Amino acid sequence: MVAKSKGGADHRHACLVCRRTFPSAGVLKRHERYSDLHKSSSERQDEMLHHRKMELRAAMHMQRGRIMELDAEIDGQALGRLSSQVLHDDMLSSQRTLMEMQLRQMLFEYGQAQEMIEDARCSRHSRRRKHQPIRATLPVEKRVGRLSLAAGVASWQGNKDVQEDRYIIDMDLKSSDGQVMAGFLVLDGHSGSLCVDYIIEHLTKNLQKCINSKPGLSSETLSQAVIEACVLTDDEFLQRARKDELNDGSTLILGIVFPEDSRPGPLGVRAPGSCRLLIANVGDSRAVLCRDIQPQGALEEPSMVAVRLSEDHKPIVPSEQKRIEARGGIVDLQGVWRVFTPGPTVFGGKHISRWG
């Protein structure tokens, strides 16, 4: 960070993590890249942020419980309300409004802590690249087989009180026979950010564990490992969701680039270093491939075409509606298509049954 005087002139460069100032930007960058003090301070800050998130989770759970108890009291009094109770009802309503404001403040602080964790993670990636400035949107470069990849991300919170979306663009995976894979994950959370945070913390580990259990790497074994990892992660979060009365959930798009040498090339021989892309989706998040179309004639200009790589799990889709209704759910049009318990295919949500 660069601190400025009142006149706007730069007079020092500061590391806010270590609370130290430096004479130039170059010295500051060397400190952030090589200093053991900065590394230990960053780790300590991450630990404090994770601890703060746990405290806020517990506080939000208690606050939601108080609001539910207050709602029950208000509903109970509404059944036999007398004129003398109007003032008391107003007091309860004011108390509930205050509790809602406190809950929103907790959600805001929780979102801030998560953003700081993600910013620190992006900064650590950028510092490993010598000639690039430290920016949260800096692309991450990967190499799988003969394929070089660059992944970047942009997110927008919109009108929500808390950013409920998450992503991973640096998922490093390895098959049981040592082949390197690169994974990319996008989560679209809803009803809170606890589910997406849980997926971010546990899905990669669960996926690697499931991949390790397979004898080798192929499209079939990788697909099976992805399904097993998603089911395992969903089971783990649902146990917690039912215990803490959480409604948080998420959709998912997962892309894995993996080496595939078994396919013959154009001359009928194997092409060493060739790769394939596996796409997995949960819910109505969608993966799209932009493909360049070369012009046929000299006067035509190049164009791009979008190719859908996944099928949305929407209740309006006949197969999805049939699956939901077979499990006792109800699909109804109320301005938009809605699903009533048990819900559509998503992660989390304590009222949602096992997704297919």
CA distance 335 to 343: 18
User: Domain holding 227: CATH number?
Assistant: 3.60.40.10
Residue 265 lies in a domain: yes
CA distance 320 to 323: 5
CA distance 28 to 35: 10
Look at the block and give the residue holding tokens 């806020």: 56
Same structural domain, 92 and 222: no
Range of the domain at 47: 37-127
Longest dimension (CA), the chain: 90
Instruction: Give the chain's domain count.
Output: 2
Same structural domain, 48 and 165: no
Residue 242 lies in a domain: yes
245 pLDDT more than 80:
no
Residue 46 lies in a domain: yes
Instruction: Out of 2-16, 113-127, 282-296, 330-344, give the one with best mean pLDDT.
Output: 282-296
Q: Give mean pLDDT, residues 239-253.
A: 86
Of 180, 152, 200, 183, residue with least CA distance to 256: 183
Rama region for 335: left / alpha / beta (φ>0; ψ in -120 to 50; rest): left
For residues 126 and 134, the answer to whether their CB atoms sit within 8 Å is: yes
From the centroid of its chain, how far is CA 130?
A: 28
Same structural domain, 150 and 116: no
For residues 168 and 200, the answer to whether their CB atoms sit within 8 Å is: yes
Question: Which tens digit of pLDDT belongs to each residue from 175-229?
Answer: 998 999 999 999 998 888 889 989 999 999 999 999 999 998 999 999 999 999 9
Indicate the pTM of the whole model.
0.62
- The identity of residue 70, as a single letter, is L
Residue 15 lies in a domain: no
Question: Which tens digit of pLDDT belongs to each residue from 56-77?
Answer: 878 887 888 888 888 887 776 6
> How many CA atoms lie within 13 Å of 122's alpha carbon, on the beta-carbon side?
21
- List strands edge to edge, sheet with 10-15: 2-4, 10-15, 20-22
